[in-house]
Structure 1
């Protein structure tokens, strides 16, 4: 779809925030008092934002219904592209035509190339919308500096062949070069296998034989999930020839660190870097 241009006469006062990056970025910008409702955390909010999070109305619905949002009477909704599908909140035009502005995270589906730069753009845009540009710039500076420092610290390391996967029932989905995970891996100097990012079978995984594998998970508060997800590789008898298993380099990575990561962009870069080149999980 073509981009929609929205004009803000003043900063929104009643925000409905959906999903991890939306909620945490708003908290990081000090906007908790403007959040009328929030939903959709994959993981508990970061420690430094827990006090602010306690002030907001967090809903039990992971993806709120259209009726729930209407009842909250927001003047601004921030979330992912998928939030505005027909089965969820419906097209943004419905909300915009009824006086509610919307913001969709670039890396959640709008942008073809999903990059760290898009995460930075999201933070800057929210800073402009809410007149907290100084706070937004401080966050951006922290992310940019951390990414650059981490990338520089590993630039002379041996190039690792790596794969980022997510399990959907029996299907193994891979994250390609045009995903945020792919951008992070590339910035760290590693070689991303299966860059087209399609689904693969176990035979394909054996043929690719990565040095390192990252398994994506969403825990929703269940601390057992990360290990359960990596065990789908580690405990599979048919995969024991994999170099990644022999090298003890199969790691969990949370969805919130490498998909519309927001302020967790730093965490994502660090998790990938430590897994590729450090001692993560050993």
Structure 2
């Protein structure tokens, strides 16, 4: 757990830096990636509004990306990004996928398992370039010149490689941003019908959960613990992580640290005393495998002496979410919403 927890902590700190201090909300401002009149057909060259962030910068900026034709060689930066593309019928165009960890989407596992696995951890630019892509797709935080990044958007574009930063993964993104990402990718690859079909399926599932929870009139409070080990207990505030927060809003949960920046102390957690605690479940593969038992993960919280005074512990209101559901910034978040909704309110899903 320590190896994975350390990696995750580094990624969370990096993600927090990327999301903090953004005075604008690109996703909210640029929600229409393609016009309604363009939904049924693709004409090239195609102009798409997306995002870029200079190395070391804090804010994402709008950038126009021009596609002379549909890309043929895609690198997906994570499992969740690759599974997204598979649902749109694009598996045969994916030449490599990085970040192959976390809970898989079993509905596309057969296609996913045929893809070239570029690494169980986040991949570097050199690894991504080793398969000669003409398109890199995924989460915003991974477009960086770092050991865990595939290179900045501008650097890749200068190499003649088109990019798409998922709108859900930049400040201002919400779960509804997923539908815009699906629509835009459907347009880029000329598969609008597949995109519409996938969106309709997700919207139906989302509506079912939200309708079931309409009877909940009072939101509960929660805090998210991303490391439950007694010696390294840490809380992720999720400041400006709008997609993360939107997931829990669907569950009628309010993050007690949503407006807090920086490290959250155990003392602050005890003072806030949230109704519910959510912690992280790693479901990884091979040598990176750690805790795969959700009950054991919950037990780490329930038996942690630092947390014994919390109402959530006393009332056994501790729940586990998978990494890909919390930090995949993709449609798989809905899997996590469905799971947590049934655990929080089992009486509503009989």
1:17 to 76, 90, 96: 76
**Structure 1 CA distance, aligned partners of 2:198 and 2:275?**
33
Within the alignment, does 1:128 sit opposite 2:187 as a pair?
Answer: yes
**Structure 2 CA distance, aligned partners of 1:84 and 1:272?**
30
Return the TM-score normalized by structure 1: 0.88
Higher deviation after alignment, 21-30 or 58-67 = 58-67
Match of 1:216 in 2: 280
1:30-54 C-alpha deviation (Å, 9 max, x unpaired): 2111111111123252111111113
1:252-280 C-alpha deviation (Å, 9 max, x unpaired): 10121133442313212213322332279
TM-superposed CA distance for 1:166, in Å, is: 1.6
1:190 to 253, 257, 262: 253
Higher deviation after alignment, 127-136 or 84-93 = 84-93
TM-superposed CA distance for 1:147, in Å, is: 1.6
Within the alignment, does 1:105 sit opposite 2:166 as a pair?
Answer: yes
SS, match of residue 262 in structure 1: coil
Within the alignment, does 1:118 sit opposite 2:186 as a pair?
Answer: no
2:338 to 254, 265, 270: 270
SS, match of residue 193 in structure 2: helix
CA contact (8 A) 2:223 2:235 kept: no
1:77 to 136, 146, 151: 136
Report the CA distance shift for 1:124/1:260 in structure 2 as closer, same or farther (over 3 A): farther
Return the TM-score normalized by structure 2: 0.72
Report the CA distance shift for 1:95/1:153 in structure 2 as closer, same or farther (over 3 A): same
TM-superposed CA distance for 1:77, in Å, is: 0.6
**Structure 2 CA distance, aligned partners of 1:39 and 1:60?**
5
RMSD between aligned alpha carbons?
A: 2.3
CA contact (8 A) 1:107 1:259 kept: no
For 1:1-282, what aligned pairs fall within 5 Å after superposition?
A: 1-87=60-146, 88-108=149-169, 111-157=170-216, 158-167=218-227, 169-176=232-239, 178-198=241-261, 199-221=263-285, 222=289, 224-225=291-292, 226-227=294-295, 229-278=297-346
Higher deviation after alignment, 193-202 or 113-122 = 193-202
SS, match of residue 148 in structure 1: helix
Higher deviation after alignment, 197-206 or 234-243 = 197-206
Report the CA distance shift for 1:44/1:254 in structure 2 as closer, same or farther (over 3 A): closer
Matched residues, number: 278
List runs of 5+ in structure 1 lacking aligned partners. none
**Structure 2 CA distance, aligned partners of 1:150 and 1:44?**
21
CA contact (8 A) 1:155 1:189 kept: no
Higher deviation after alignment, 178-187 or 98-107 = 178-187
Higher deviation after alignment, 65-74 or 213-222 = 213-222
SS, match of residue 62 in structure 2: coil
1:111-170 C-alpha deviation (Å, 9 max, x unpaired): 322311112222222111111111111121122222222112112225322223322944
CA contact (8 A) 2:75 2:133 kept: yes
List runs of 5+ in structure 2 lacking aligned partners. 1-59
